[in-house]
Amino acid sequence: MASRVLNTSQDGFNLLQAEIVPEEASRFPIRASEIFHSTSHRCVRPQYDPFDGLRVLVCFPSKKPLKNAPMLHWLQDLLRETLGSSKKITYDQFCYNVTDTGVGEQPFHSYRRHGGKVGAVQRIKKGLPEIQDMISDYHAVFFMSVESDIDTRDSPFFDKANIILFEYHSRYTAGVMSRGPSVQPELLELASAEKTYGKVLAEKFGIPPDDWHAIVCKDQKRLNSRTAFISDALNLLISRNQMENVFAFCLYAR
């Protein structure tokens, strides 16, 4: 079945309704040692006092609400479910921008290189030195890093978010790839290391470069925005049992 034409640019390019691929989000392997060497980071967790509650720092290597908001809400909900609603938790956020991730403006995931994973790791690495003086003040320090790329391993090519969760004290590390909208080969050819696929669509059709997903997926009931794709993938990132292991130091405290 032919895709519906949503818009036509002045120079004759058609913007088509996207297909959502693959059928499910999926995990990818990631180790704490890929982010840092423990010998170079010696900060320790502060002693936990149940009467004072938990202090949690959430670090985002981006200042874009489209990325950060769904991840923060997901983490807070999971901690509430894991630790109980009566547990006192104080959250602080540290948001920072990374100008060079080493993968260019438009990363790709090929059979030779997982560009989105590389970029997400680099985002965390860039932030670690900036919080060294703060780490020992928090019982848990989470990094939640997102780097999108275009998956070119099979047809159709598609845009996806690569999400890495890293907790400093426990060294827990996990990665997941979202589902995403298919991209058009003739428009993808116009993207480059300096220009994302989203910017190409913005130039051609005047749509938001950071959430073009909302246009090409607008007829979808659930997965109809960048935020929706990220939220969908987060459900696979870490289970309640795994989060219990991260917080074992306080779950069994007396």
pLDDT in tens, 50-63: 999 999 999 999 99
pLDDT of amino acid 36: 85
Close Cβ partners of 2 (under 8 Å, ≥ 6 residues apart): none
Q: Which residue has the tokens 């090929």?
A: 110
* Per-residue confidence band for 71, with pLDDT thresholds at 50, 70 and 90: very high
Domain assignments of the chain as residue spans, ordered by start: 24-181+224-251
Query: Alpha-carbon distance 145 to 71, whole Å?
Result: 9
Sign of the alpha-carbon torsion through 43, 84, 30, 64: negative
At 116-166, the pLDDT tens digits run 999 999 999 999 999 999 999 999 999 999 999 999 999 999 999 999 999
